Amino acid sequence: MDDRVVIFKPRVEQIAEDNLRDFIALAKEELTAFGSDLVFDADTWDVTNFVRLKRRNSCSSIRFHGFPSGRGQKDSRGLPQPYKDFAKAYCRYDYALGAYTTVSPRLAALRSLAVALEETESCITPIKATLGHFNRACAILNERYQTQSAYMASVELKRISQFLVEHQLCAMPIQWRNPLRMPMDTARRVGPEFDAVRQARLPSPASLAAIAEIFGAAKASEDVFTSSICALLASAPSRINEALSVSTQCEVEEFDSKTNQRLYGLRWSPSKGGKAQVKWVVQSMVSVARDAVSKLMAISAPAREVASWYEQHPHAIYLPMELEALRGQPLITPAQVSAIVFATPPPNGNHTKRGAEWCRKQGVAAQVPYNPRKKNAPRFHFSDIERVILTMLPANFPLADRKNSLKYSNALCLTRLNELNDVWGTYRGVVVLPDTSYIQARLSGTRTVLSIFDRFGYVEQDGSRIKITTHQFRHYLNTVAQMGGLSQLDIAKWSGRAKVGQNRSYDHQSDRDVLALVRSALGDLEKSAGHVASIPPSSLIARDQFAALKIMSAHTTDLGYCLHDFSMLPCQLHRDCLNCDEHVCIKGDGARERAIRQHRQETQALLAQALKALGEEEFGANRWVEHQTLTLKRLDELCAILDDPSVGLNAVIQPCGIVPASKLEQILVHHRVLNEHGEIGQGIVDPNVPRIGAEDL
């Protein structure tokens, strides 16, 4: 008897395995995305030349590892096979179909699916993927990431599921639906959710005031550079990568014959589909923007001189005139190395030690053995120093921005390496264009970098640290433009947007801002037109006052505001508002205060007439006396509160101790009155007396 166990493998699974094998072979051997020299089997791919965020000097890489154990940890392990090869093939194939600029959502989706497969399968392969695995992967994304990031990764997870089905790479045909929904649209302007988003996307008043003061007080190059960039971002709505790519020929001045003003603008190249333009600066910010450009020109002047040298002499190291005699020397001393490499003196004043240490770190071999008695003896080749320095130039030199053909020698924000760092020495012949991460670190701070606010001792009003992002300036200026009434087309053009509809994401006007704008426009022919211009201004109760009273609805009356909810029950008092506990008055409302005092005078006259009728024993006069007496008492109490100086303006006055009679109580009282006068059972029916039915009792 044969003891072997043979597992039946369905044909669909065999087809999926064959397709997966062919797909991996195609991506590995035939595709050239990410370069023909890409090492496919490596767990980390360097894709800096292909996937590069704008104005980022750091390298871009794709790491085919799983999730780390925690935030900030680097203990992730490689993805299991054969799933790893599928992930590599998918990333390369997807890039070949259409280049992408970010890999994070794609990698997050691939990693979450790998974790879901590992929980149930012994062989980690996309062939085994089911609806349950994709649901579990989506749950993992929701657990590990914030709402927006989780949604973006789940969209990539949906694309992966469709890819597996379309190319028959999974044994089970699945039609997976993404359970995560697009994050809530924050375009609505009320509620704590909107206030939280508004606070997160707009700079605080304390941060804006601090930036203004730092801009005028900064002396160190690092602080001058950061505050000047912030000044440019506050002058016109821009992205940080656009500001860092501005040319030295950015300033534009024109005379406007309509306003008789001299206009000042900056040449700008939008990074997301917009056309090159001139961003005009508002008059109140012209001097600030002009000063910021002047400061950046002064900081970048030495670096631009170095860049111009390399454009003319691409194979020769930059040297100032006082060091030209060292060019071509066969051997130079460590002190001379220090002078060639660095433009600033060493902290300890020892050029010999710094030059020798730099050569050791850069792997420059000494041509003469070291002699302790002659530490500064010539022993390094000048050509070796030159070779190392030339390799430290930017990869795409002399172009800083290929899209706009911007050269390093014309870049407004160009600096020498380490020039904006107080700790490290400034390189004499190496240039660098600071990236977005440098600016953001100076605005928010890191574990090793103090923010510009911490350096100058500025904090928020509550004592917490000030942290802002470069994009908050853009949100702030767009919101100010919205509040100022600028048209949507002008806002889009000013911001460098290709689509007007994108303005919505940058509009953070609250309900209070919109209400204030409407209030100011009512009855003002200069701010409104048509029917709106003819509407007289109204005195409205504040929302927070209604919220404190737990009011669901309200409407105005002659004397104040009625809080009765007519959706639940009609009014039972027929506008006898002063004897109702659902009516409030506002001190300081001039029109209604006058109405209250006039009503008091009328009630006094009516009470006098009722008392006269009572003396003449007219039928029903006693009830009028009782009612008018109670009403006059309410009015006297209300006027006393209005005249009391200890009660502040806008105080909400609500009657207390009033329990209005219900409908049943009113009918019973009326029935008792008729009974007392012997009118019950009479044949004559008074048309003013309501008929009592069983349902009323």
Cis preceding-peptide flag for 126 (omega within 30 of 0):
no
Provide the pLDDT confidence category of residue 651 given band limits of 50, 70 and 90: confident
Query: What number is the average pLDDT over the span 275-279?
Result: 81
Query: What number is the average pLDDT over the span 386-402?
Result: 89
Query: What number is the average pLDDT over the span 20-29?
Result: 91
Task: Determine whether 653 is exposed, middle or buried from the number of CB atoms within 10 Å of its CB (0-12, 13-18, 19+).
Answer: middle
| pLDDT at residue 481, as a whole number | 73
- Predicted confidence (pLDDT) per residue in 324-373, tens digit: 999 888 889 999 999 999 999 998 888 888 998 999 999 998 888 777 77
- Measured CA to CA, the distance from residue 13 to residue 267 in angstroms comes to 59
| pLDDT at residue 685, as a whole number | 45
| pLDDT at residue 197, as a whole number | 63
> Which string of b and e fits 434-463 if b means at least 16 CB within 10 Å?
bbbebbbbbbbbeeebebbbebbebeeeee
Task: Determine whether 657 is exposed, middle or buried from the number of CB atoms within 10 Å of its CB (0-12, 13-18, 19+).
Answer: exposed
- CB atoms under 10 Å from CB of 382, counted, come to 19
| pLDDT at residue 576, as a whole number | 78
Residues above pLDDT 90, as percent of the chain: 24
The larger pLDDT score, comparing residue 217 to residue 537, is at: 217
Query: What number is the average pLDDT over the span 16-44?
Result: 89
Provide the pLDDT confidence category of residue 386 given band limits of 50, 70 and 90: very high
On the question of pLDDT at 498 being above 70, the answer is: no
CB-based contact 91:106 (threshold 8 Å) = yes
| pLDDT at residue 693, as a whole number | 44
Q: How remote is the C-alpha of 442 from its chain's centroid? A: 18
Q: How remote is the C-alpha of 584 from its chain's centroid? A: 41
| pLDDT at residue 550, as a whole number | 55
| pLDDT at residue 527, as a whole number | 52
**Range 201-311+397-480: architecture per CATH:** Orthogonal Bundle (1.10)
The larger pLDDT score, comparing residue 476 to residue 685, is at: 476
CB-based contact 691:680 (threshold 8 Å) = no
Pinpoint the residues of the chain covered by CATH 1.10.443: 201-311+397-480
**Least confident window among 168-177, 208-217, 259-268, 551-560:** 551-560
The larger pLDDT score, comparing residue 195 to residue 202, is at: 202
| pLDDT at residue 689, as a whole number | 45
| pLDDT at residue 684, as a whole number | 40
Query: What number is the average pLDDT over the span 628-653?
Result: 86
| pLDDT at residue 71, as a whole number | 63
- The mean of the pLDDT values for the chain is 81
CB-based contact 661:630 (threshold 8 Å) = no
Q: Tokens 């100058």, residue? A: 456
| pLDDT at residue 409, as a whole number | 93
Q: Tokens 């014309």, residue? A: 410
The larger pLDDT score, comparing residue 671 to residue 440, is at: 440
Q: Which of 193, 173, 177, 176 is nearest to 185 (CA)?
A: 193
| pLDDT at residue 474, as a whole number | 84
On the question of pLDDT at 575 being above 90, the answer is: no
Q: What is the pTM of this model?
A: 0.62
| pLDDT at residue 298, as a whole number | 94
Query: What number is the average pLDDT over the span 252-280?
Result: 82
3-state secondary structure of 585: strand
**415 beta partners:** 432
On the question of pLDDT at 691 being above 50, the answer is: no
Q: CA torsion sign, 439 to 444 to 450 to 455?
A: positive
> Cβ neighbours of residue 193 under 8 Å, at least 6 residues apart?
184, 186
Query: What number is the average pLDDT over the span 537-560?
Result: 65
- Predicted confidence (pLDDT) per residue in 137-179, tens digit: 999 998 888 888 899 999 999 999 999 999 888 888 788 888 8
Q: Which of 365, 318, 324 is nearest to 342 (CA)?
A: 318
The larger pLDDT score, comparing residue 500 to residue 16, is at: 16
Provide the pLDDT confidence category of residue 522 given band limits of 50, 70 and 90: low
Cis preceding-peptide flag for 398 (omega within 30 of 0):
yes
Reduce the secondary structure of 519-579 to three states and give it as a string: HHHCCCCCCCCCHHHHCCCCCCCCHHHHHHCCCCCCEECCCCEECCCCCCCCCCCCCCHHH
Provide the pLDDT confidence category of residue 564 given band limits of 50, 70 and 90: confident
On the question of pLDDT at 239 being above 70, the answer is: yes
What the block records as the tokens of 51 is: 């996937």
| pLDDT at residue 6, as a whole number | 62
**Least confident window among 257-266, 574-583, 605-614:** 574-583
The larger pLDDT score, comparing residue 479 to residue 163, is at: 163
CB-based contact 506:499 (threshold 8 Å) = no
